[in-house]
Amino acid sequence: MTKRDTEYQPLLEGITETKQKIKCPNTSLLLAICAACIGGTFQYGYNISIINSPTKSVQNFINQTWLERYEENISEQYLTLLWSSIVSIFTIGGFIGATIGGTLAIKFGRKGTLMMNNAFALLAALLMGLSYPTGLFELLIIGRFFTGVNAGIGICVQPLYLGEIAPRALRGAMAMGTSIFITGGILTGQVIGLNELLGKEEYWPILLSTTCIPAFLQLLILPWFPESPRYLLIDRGDDVGCGTAMKQLHGTDNFDREREDMERERISAMGIKPKKPWELFMDRSLRWQVLTIILINAAQQLNGINAIYFYTDYVFEEAGIPEVNIPYVTVGTGACECLTALTCVSVNYCSEYRCFISKYLEACMEYIAELLSPGPWIPYLSMGCVFAFILSFGMGPGGVTNILITELFTQTTRPAAYMIGGSVNWLSFFFIGMAFPFIVYCFLVFLVVCVLVAVYIFLVVPETKNKTFLEIQTEFQSGEKRKASKADHSPSTTLLSTPL
């Protein structure tokens, strides 16, 4: 090798590494992600939006049923209570699903749990579809509960599966499938709920029963794809199964580096049993990771995204949009978030850390604009802020939160971390639904939440892109990032600079 070759060798290696990083994922990997998501987080988004369209139709059914049973009309207060129960029981089921999802993922595997989870969706569809012919509105409450359990397990286990099957360089982009399918589910529910499709009053039992379609699709498609290679190797000790799965997902010549990472993690996890959620709270070496997932999952609900959806119709009405057109504009908000999630796949080839912080800060600026801008054109500004906030949420918290949970923990602690994160997320969802009507200066509260979370992420969370799970854990434990912050004379990080 000549002297010139020696001088250019590092450059050539860098170019080769860059090409490997931006190499497109294997087709089988993309299809596996779609198969996992269609019956997972797609159901979560779909069932959030699908319940909005038949509100008046279901209330009329409850009133009619009550009249036939007791020969009197139901009181308005009790009707509101029953309808609120049908809607909010979804979050209770989601919380229960999140608390058992990690345990099921350990016992039955990631793929196995996703397959079993479809039973809840099918049962829910059956119960809600039978509610009208049987005259039992109680079946709607039970069905929505099982729908929530299905969503809770899916939003816990599916990101776990995606994070473990994706190559390191594509982990962030591929895990964005969670966000893409949530927003796709929301958009699909909004579209199907239009009057031109299943939004008419006589179609509401069919509309609520359509939750069985994604379940059937996953049961047909997902069996053709393998279990998580990381789960097979580390949890089950199945070397042959791991190799077969990686060959199908990554291609014949594209998984040696990933296999080496798994081997190192298996060696570090030898003799260590998967931890329970309460054991994570007791482990001082994981305190910053646990605190991080609690804060970012709470902030994902408390940053105002659901409040935005609650008040979208009001904002558009104030902007002068005709009432008959508001449902179609609302569909536009769902399309906006869906397109943003698709865009975020390319953004995740860049720094997830910078994306997370910048989008929280953008949300802060949008709240400030909405709070401080006077004038008769405020409704139009508010409408613009709605779309701008949805864009910021989709490219930041909406997409990166679930990825971070995968990356901040190793194989023995990851299922328990998803149980903690999912439980906090669902409890926050329930809280914001109950407390929102009583928050007078709601957007000011959301502004404070966005600022505090952005500051915390900047001070505590390290960059995770293109790092192995062990490297990320080591960086947290060594406190190198916090030491560097202390060296930069930042007094606010003094307490965070102690090695964990």
Model pLDDT for residues 138-150, shown as the tens digit of each residue: 999 999 999 999 9
- How high is the mean pLDDT of the chain? 76
283-299 b/e (C-beta count within 10 Å ≥ 16 → b): eeebebbbebbbbbbbb
For residue 18, pLDDT beyond 70 = no
Rounded average pLDDT over 381-409: 70
What local confidence, expressed as pLDDT, does residue 78 receive? Answer: 86
For residue 3, how many other CB atoms are within 10 A of its CB?
7
Cβ–Cβ < 8 Å for 202, 211:
no
Buried b vs exposed e over 366-394: b needs ≥16 C-beta within 10 Å? bbeebeeeeeeeebebbbebbbbbbbbbb
**DSSP letter assigned to residue 318:** H
pLDDT surpasses 80 at 382? no
Residue 443 is which amino acid? Answer: F
- DSSP category for residue 234: I
Q: Which two tokens stand for residue 152?
A: 């809770």
Q: Please count the other Cβ atoms lying within 10 Å of the Cβ belonging to residue 171.
A: 24
d(CA 314, CA 75): 26
Q: What is the pLDDT of residues 72-107, one digit of tens each?
A: 888 888 888 888 888 888 989 999 998 998 889 988
Place of tokens 């609900």: 301
Least confident of 224-238, 423-437, 448-462: 423-437
The tens digit of pLDDT for each residue in 483-500 reads 444 444 444 433 333 332
Q: What is the average per-residue pLDDT within 472-481? A: 64
- Residues 195, 332: Cα–Cα separation, whole Å: 16
Closest by CA position to 366, among listed 351, 353, 383, 354: 383
Task: Measure the CA–CA gap between 372 and 385, rounded to whole angstroms.
Answer: 12
* Residue 500 CB coordination number (10 Å): 14
Q: What confidence category does residue 353 fall into, taking pLDDT thresholds of 50, 70 and 90?
A: very low
Please tell me the distance from the alpha carbon of residue 45 to that of residue 111, in angstroms, as a whole number.
20
| Percentage of the residues of the chain whose pLDDT score is greater than 70 | 69
Return the top range by mean pLDDT from 231-235, 370-374, 426-430: 231-235
**In one letter, which amino acid is 253?**
D
Arithmetic mean of pLDDT, 456-462: 79
- The answer to whether 482 and 468 have CB atoms below 8 angstroms apart is no
List Cβ neighbours of 423 (8 Å cut-off, separation of 6 or more). Answer: 95, 98, 99, 277
pTM for the predicted model, two decimal places: 0.77
Note the pLDDT tens digit of each residue in 277-322.
Answer: 888 888 888 888 888 888 888 888 777 776 666 556 656 666 566 7
Three-state secondary structure string covering the chain:
CCHHHHHHHHHHHHHHHHHHHCCCCCHHHHHHHHHHHHCCHHHHHHHHHCCCCCHHHHHHHHHHHHHHHHCCCCCHHHHHHHHHHHHHHHHHHHHHHHHHHHHHHHHHCHHHHHHHHHHHHHHHHHHHHHHHHHCCCHHHHHHHHHHHHHHHHHHHHHHHHHHHHCCHHHHHHHHCHHHHHHHHHHHHHHHHCCCCCCCCHHHHHHHHHCCHHHHHHHHHHHHHCCCCHHHHHHHCCCHHHHHHHHHHHHCCCCCHHHHHHHHHHHHHCCCCCCCCHHHHHHCHHHHHHHHHHHHHHHHHHHCCHHHHHHCHHHHHHHCCCCHHHHHHHHHHHHHHHHHHHHHHHHHCCCCHHHHHHHHHHHHHHHHHHHHHCCCCCHHHHHHHHHHHHHHHHHHCHHHHHHHHHHHHCCCCCHHHHHHHHHHHHHHHHHHHHHHHHHCCCHHHHHHHHHHHHHHHHHHHCCCCCCCCHHHHHHHHHHCHHHHHHHHCCCHHHHHHCCCC
Cα 203 vs. chain centroid, distance in angstroms?
30
Residue pLDDT, tens place only, 164-220: 888 777 766 666 677 788 888 888 988 898 888 888 888 899 999 999 999 999 999
Confidence of residue 19 (pLDDT cuts 50, 70, 90): very low
Nearest to 304 by CA among 439, 423, 461, 424: 439
Which of 204-213, 331-340, 464-473 has the highest average model confidence (pLDDT)?
Answer: 204-213
What is the average per-residue pLDDT within 208-237?
91
Q: What is the pLDDT of residue 378?
A: 57
Given a cut of 70, is residue 446 above it in pLDDT? yes
Q: Does 431 have pLDDT greater than 60?
A: yes
